[in-house]
Amino acid sequence: MNSIEKKLEILYPKNSKFLYENIKKLIKKYALNNIKKEKFNEKDTILITYGDSIKKENEAPLKTLYKFLNEYIKNSINTVHLLPFFPYSSDDGFSVIDYKKVNPELGNWEDIKILSENYKLMFDAVINHISAKSLWFEEFLKGNKKFENYFIEVEDSKDLSKVFRPRALPLLNEYKTSNRIKKIWTTFSKDQIDLNYKNEKVFIEILEILMLYVKNGAKLIRFDAIGFLWKEIGTNCIHHPNTHLFIQLLREILEKIGDCKIVTETNVPHQDNVSYFGNGYNEAHMVYNFTLPPLVLYSFLSQNSKYITRWAKELEYKSNETTFFNFLASHDGIGLMPVKGILNSEEIKKMVLNTLENEGLVSYKNNADGTKEPYEMNINYFDALYEKDIELEENIKKFLGAYSIAIALKGIPGIYIHSLLGSRNWNEGVKITKINRSINREKLNYDTLRLELNEENSLRHKVFYGMIKMLKIRNNNKEFSPLAEQEILEINDKVFAIKRGNFFILHNFTNESIKLNLSKYFKLGINLINDEKTKNEFKIKPYEYMWIKGEL
C-alpha cells in the first residue's frame, strides 16, 4: 500500500480503493508534460490583488491588470496572487458560486492564461465553504440525492459549545429544503455553506477542481480558511488531525500532475499556524506569517524592538522546501489572534485604540464563554502606522521601513496592491457596503493611477518607487533567497536588525536618532537605499531604514 492509499484508508476507510482508482484516472487526465520542480529563490515576490483592483473603462479588468503589470512591475515582481476570480455572491469573491468559471465581469480563462505565461500565479482555493447560490447547494435544497451529503446538517441535540468561532455570527443557519427546515453548518456567514469532507464525493469534486487550476496555470494554490475544513462534533473543529492529513494527501496528489505549491491561510496563534508546515516535506510549502503585521505595527507604536527581535530569532524554518509568506497587509484586516501569547491584552488594546484614532474599524468574534473580543483591525496599513504629528515624508519613511522588514526577512514577501500603490483608508467604501473590510478594497482608475504614479511629489510615486528599490536589491542578491541564512542581531532595543550574508537591514522604530556600532561586522559599507558610504559607527535617523552592504 503506497502513501496515498494509506491516507485514503484513514480518511475514507469504506471507499479508499474506489477513490484510489478514481485518483489515478484524474492524474492521467490532468498531468502536465515535462514537470520541472522549482525551488523558492530571491526573485520570488508576490503581488496580492483582486482581478479588478485597477479598472479602465470599456476594458476587461484582467486585461487592465496585465497592462499595469507589464508597464510598472515586470522586472521587480514575478508572482501575482489573484484573489478569487470566480462568480460569487458575497464577501468580495470568497463565496464562490462556480469554481470552474472565471467571473465574466473580470475576463475569461484566456486572460488568466496570458497572465500565467508571463507571471507565476497564485490561485485561491476557497474550499472550506461554497456559496448558498451555487448549483450544489440549490440542488441540495431541492432534495437532489447526489448532493444530500455535500453539506453538514446538525440536529438540535448536538453540543456545539466547543466549536471555535472566528466570527460574531451564528454557527448554524436554517434553510428550507423540499421536505423540511434544516440547520446547516456555516462557519463564516449564511451565504457561505461549509462543505462536508467526510463525503468522499466532495473530496473528488474538489480534487478535480484543484487539478483544473494547475492545468490553467496555477503555480501556487492558497487554501483559504483551511484550518476549519474537517469538522468533528465534540472538538473545537479547527486544526483537526484530518485537516492536516487532507492537505498532505492533496500535496502528494498534486505533485504528480505539476509543479504547484500549497500555501495555507490560517489566521491563528503562531504555533498553530506553523503546524501546517508538517514535517517540512509533506504539507504546506508556504505559510502566511500572520504574526508579522500586528507585531511590526506594535513595534512602531511602542518604539521598541524587543518583541519582534525575540520572535524573529525563534522563527523555525522547517526545510529547504518550505518558507514563510511575509506580508503586512492584504484584502483582509490586521489579525490579532496571531499575537496572542506574544503581546498581552493591554498591548493589543493599544493597537485597537490606535486603529480607531486613525479612522479604522475593529471586527469582533464570539468566545465560547459568551463574551466577544476583537479579532481584526480593519485599516489600511499606511494609516495604521500614520502619525498626525509628523510630516508626510516621515510617515512615508515609517511605512517603507515597515515593508523593509517584510522584504528582507527570510521568506517570500507578499505585497498587497494598495500597499504597493500607497493607498489610504477607503472609508467611503465602508459606507457603501456596510462591510468593515471594504476600507482596504478600493477600485482604482487606471488612467488616474498612472498620472499619480508619474507625479514625482505624489504619495503614490514615493511609496511605489521606494518599494521597487528594495525589491530590486533583493532580486539581485542571492543572500535574500528564502533558502539563504539569516541572523537576527540584538544591537539596540529600539532598532530591529536583520543580517543576510554581508547585508545589514536596520530599522529605527523611534522618532529619535540612534548611535549604532557595527564594527564587529564590517569596516566600511554602503547604504543601498541612498547609495551613501557609511562607516561602521554611525547614526540611524528617526524612522530610517537602511540596507547596508558591508565590506568585511
Task: Report the binding-site residues for substrate.
Answer: 91, 129, 222-224, 331-332, 437
Count of beta carbons in the 10 Å neighbourhood of residue 160: 15
Q: What is the enclosing helix (H) or strand (E) of 403?
A: helix 392-408
Q: Can you tell me the distance from the alpha carbon of 190 to that of 404, in angstroms, rounded to the nearest whole number?
A: 40
Provide, for the chain, the percentages of residues in helix, strand and coil under a 3-state DSSP scheme, each rounded to the nearest 5: 35, 20, 40
- Closest residue by Cα to residue 101 from 90, 87, 113, 116: 87
DSSP letters for 8-25: HHHH-TTTHHHHHHHHHH
CA-to-CA separations, 537 to 517, 521, 549, in angstroms, rounded? 4, 11, 14
For CA atoms 429, 226, 43, 385, give the dihedral sign.
positive
d(CA 545, CA 536): 16
Q: Where is the binding site, in residues? A: 91, 129, 222-224, 331-332, 437
> Do 270 and 276 form a contact (C-beta atoms < 8 A)?
no
Cell numbers 491561510 label which residue? 265
Instruction: Find the farthest-apart pair of alpha carbons in the chain and give their distance in angstroms, rounded.
Output: 80
The rounded Cα 442 to chain-centroid distance in angstroms is 18
- How do 172-176 and 286-288 pair as beta strands? unpaired
286 CA to centre of own chain:
10
Cell of 201: 464525493
Chain CA centroid to CA 248, Å: 20
Q: Is 194 an active-site residue?
A: no
What are all long-range contacts of 468-473, with beta carbons under 8 Å and residues at least 24 apart?
468/73, 468/76, 469/529, 470/400, 470/403, 470/404, 470/407, 470/408, 470/529, 470/547, 471/45, 471/76, 471/77, 471/407, 471/413, 472/75, 472/76, 473/528, 473/547
Partners of residue 176 on adjacent β-strands: 181
Q: Distance (Å, rounded) from C-alpha 209 to C-alpha 366? A: 33
Distance, CA of 152 to CA of 139 (rounded, Å): 15
The 3-class SS string of 465-525 reads HHHHHHHHHHHCCHHHCCCCCCEEECCCCCEEEEEECCEEEEEECCCCCEEEECCCCCCEE
- Yes or no: say if 467 and 529 are a contact pair by the CB < 8 Å rule: no
Asked if 272 and 227 count as a contact pair (C-beta separation under 8 A), the reply is yes
The catalytically annotated residue of 124, 191, 224, 383 is 224
For residue 317, the SS3 value is: coil
The torsion angles phi and psi of 96, rounded to 5 degrees, stand at -80, 130
Residues acting as catalytic residues: 224
